[in-house]
Amino acid sequence: MAFSFQTKYKTKEFLRPEDLLRSIPLEPGMTVADFGAGNGHYAVAAGALVGTKGQVSAFDVMEDALSQTATLARLVGLHNITTRQCDLEKYGATKLPDTGTDFVILSSLLHQVRNRNEVLREAYRILKTGGQILVVEYTPDAMFGPPVPQRLPKEEAAKLLEQYSFRPVKELQAGAFHYALLYQK
């Protein structure tokens, strides 16, 4: 069940990473990279879905965020998640091999970075042919999140992905405050 907010007019549900990733679907044995892992909720949800034969690499520029990710993984008993501090705006920073990753997650990241192009170049570099990328960002009318002028409109995110030859797969349900775009290399 998703967490919900009561408003004057209706109940609005907040995004749940595990539900979103299950709808893709992520499968056992896949390799996943979580760019801008933050509190680790996507990495941990992905780790549970890809299972013991899968691997999740969580990246963030902030060591504290990676510590939260590692702690959450330990709390739920997952051992298939590794963390690495790096600047995702630098090509090659993940140190992952070329074309070795099945899936990349960019949740609430693109609106924060100055050099979106390098982040997308790195995602493209590590993805296998046929691999997928998930972009999740706040909608312009969400009642919280980054300041509205900093938010990345869905159309702009799609344009950026297509500049790097990613092909649209589908838009996913992402709760009342986010949009989610699934693209393929």
Q: Model confidence over 75-125: pLDDT tens digits? A: 999 999 999 999 999 999 999 999 999 999 999 999 988 899 999 999 999
Residue 67 has pLDDT above 80, yes or no: yes
CA distance 69 to 105: 14
Beta bridge partners of 59: 35, 84
- Give the mean pLDDT of the chain: 92
Per-residue confidence at 145, pLDDT binned at 50, 70, 90?
Answer: confident
Least confident of 10-14, 40-44, 82-86, 144-148: 10-14
- Output the pLDDT for position 143: 86
Q: Return the structure tokens found at 182.
A: 């699934």
DSSP letters spanning 82-133: EEEE--TTSTTTT-PPTT-EEEEEEES-TTT-S-HHHHHHHHHHHEEEEEEE
Residue 3 has pLDDT above 60, yes or no: no
